[in-house]
Amino acid sequence: FKQALELGATALILVHNHPSGTLKPSEADKQITNKLKIAAQSLDIKVLDHLIITEKAYFSFADEAIL
């Protein structure tokens, strides 16, 4: 968030990888997404999406309507 604030960002897309190749978000993935979304809101920054990427595909929290 520090860099986002320094750059004057109004929105973010969160991204992390799952080297295992599993696209399904874990409960921890869901919890951290929610925590980061709440923190971003308090800074007037919108979280547009959270992507989980693997070598062959990706999972979008926004596309799955769980953001």
Q: pTM, whole model, 2 decimals? A: 0.88
Rounded CA separation 41/33 (Å): 12
Instruction: Examine residue 37 and state whether it is found in any structural domain, yes or no.
Output: yes
In which domain, by residue range, is 7 found? 1-60
Q: What is the pLDDT of residue 67?
A: 87
Instruction: Examine residue 66 and state whether it is found in any structural domain, yes or no.
Output: no
Average pLDDT by stretches of 10, the chain with 67 residues: 94 95 93 96 96 95 94
Rounded CA separation 6/53 (Å): 27
Instruction: Examine residue 55 and state whether it is found in any structural domain, yes or no.
Output: yes
CATH number for the domain harbouring residue 15: 3.40.140.10
Rounded CA separation 57/44 (Å): 31
Per the CB < 8 A criterion, the answer to whether 52 and 25 are in contact is yes
Cα 44 to the chain's mean position, in Å?
16
